[in-house]
Structure 1
Amino acid sequence: MQGIKHIIFDLGGVILNIDYQLTYKAFGELGVKDFTSLYSQFQGSRLFDDLETGRVAPDVFLEAMHEHVPAAVTDEQIIAAWNAMLLDFPLQRLQLLQQLQLHYNTYLLSNTNAIHLDKFNAILQESRGIPSLAAFFNKVYYSHLIGYRKPEKEAYQLILDENGLDAAETLFIDDTLPNIEGAKAVGLQTIHLQAPKTISEIFKAATSR
């Protein structure tokens, strides 16, 4: 951590526990026979990318999903299945974020969408009594609101430019290798967080040296 003044965090798999298989299973229970293939198909058609960059509104996403589920399935059921992957915020990680705020400028950069944003803030409110993740950071950046998603260099550069950060003094933490490579391309310091390691273990090791 020597020379680091700012930290940019990924969300899913770093701060928020997620399990994509739960969403695959939930859509299967709604009657989607192979959601994995459907997800790949939608990625190819840019539906999910467009949802995550705000080019497609949630109602357009839901309309597209209705083409692949039985007629009786409701919007609410599709939303619940889509959100099934979002699990919990371990208290230890939230406490770490609060501690880091005392020593660093901290930011969140997440590839997400309006449906998931509503849900994970609701999880935080219900479990910890905190209405928004914004409480833990100087500023939060969500792909569907900024129009860029990792590993596009513009996503990282926006944070650097808006906040006057020196990339060499800024650490980026993510659990996805392409996102790490994208961060390196704009000069950020990086940590590729790989399970079962957690950010709590990473910072405990750093502060014990």
Structure 2
Amino acid sequence: MIKNIIFDFGDIFINLDKMATYKAMAKLGVTEITEEMVGVYHQYEKGLMSTEDFIKFFHNRFNIPKTDLIHAWNAVLLDFPKERLLFLQKLAASKKYRLFLLSNTNDLHIKWVQNSLGTQFYNDFKNAFEQFYLSHEINFRKPDANIYKFVLSENSLKAEETLFVDDLEENTKSANSLGIHTWNLVPNVDDVTELFKKNKRLL
């Protein structure tokens, strides 16, 4: 019996254009993504590097104005359909499940989200969850198994009573290896508002 639901954020609630940052960076002259750059990104996403140092790395390496870098970095973020928030609020109000957010989200992105959505919308979203876990605040990132173990342990959750919803297969596979039930939601095919339609075990 499912008692807990852990949701991802990007392409679950807020829409993403996953290629937008690459395209924006290419326009700034960065056409190759190296292993070092990916490593820096992962460090930043886990909160092991400050925003200032993250921007400075790309600024010094490519001589790109910092404001342009920030704009390119946030280009991935799109809109947050209100019907998804309403669905989440209704789910939270039912008190049938313990709800958690678990997202690979960095400092620059969450600040953009807060500014874009506005304080009321953002707080309404955040307050629907019992815990709101962002990778840069807990120093873990998906798909590392430790991030799921952390959430289970911190909240005394049983894996077999927990459903994890994410758009990336590598993340759901990792969670599933620990015995967590998963829904690999496919953007532009599935929608989080179809949670009960697509997951009969919740009924």
Q: CA deviation at 1:33?
A: 4.0
Instruction: In structure 1, give the amino acid aligned to 2:84.
Output: R
Count the aligned residue pairs: 198
1:185 maps to: 177
2:68 maps to: 77
Aligned counterparts of 2:169 and 2:132: Cα–Cα separation in 1: 21
Aligned counterparts of 2:30 and 2:110: Cα–Cα separation in 1: 27
CA RMSD after TM alignment:
2.0
TM-score by structure 2 length? 0.89
Aligned counterparts of 1:39 and 1:91: Cα–Cα separation in 2: 37
1:97 maps to: 88
Note the 1:16-31 alignment, pairs <5 A: 16-29=14-27, 31=28
2:29 maps to: 32
1:7 maps to: 5
TM-score by structure 1 length? 0.86
The answer to whether the 8 Å contact 1:32/1:68 transfers is: no
Q: CA deviation at 1:68?
A: 4.3
Aligned counterparts of 1:59 and 1:144: Cα–Cα separation in 2: 14
**What percent of counterpart residues are identical?**
35
1:165 maps to: 157
Q: CA deviation at 1:39?
A: 5.9
2:50 maps to: 57
Note the 1:110-189 alignment, pairs <5 A: 110-125=103-118, 129-132=120-123, 133-189=125-181
1:66 maps to: 59
Q: CA deviation at 1:112?
A: 1.4
Q: Which runs of 5+ in 1 are unaligned?
A: none
Any idea what SS the aligned residue of 1:130 has?
Answer: helix
The answer to whether the 8 Å contact 1:58/1:115 transfers is: yes
The answer to whether the 8 Å contact 2:4/2:98 transfers is: yes
Aligned counterparts of 1:61 and 1:190: Cα–Cα separation in 2: 33
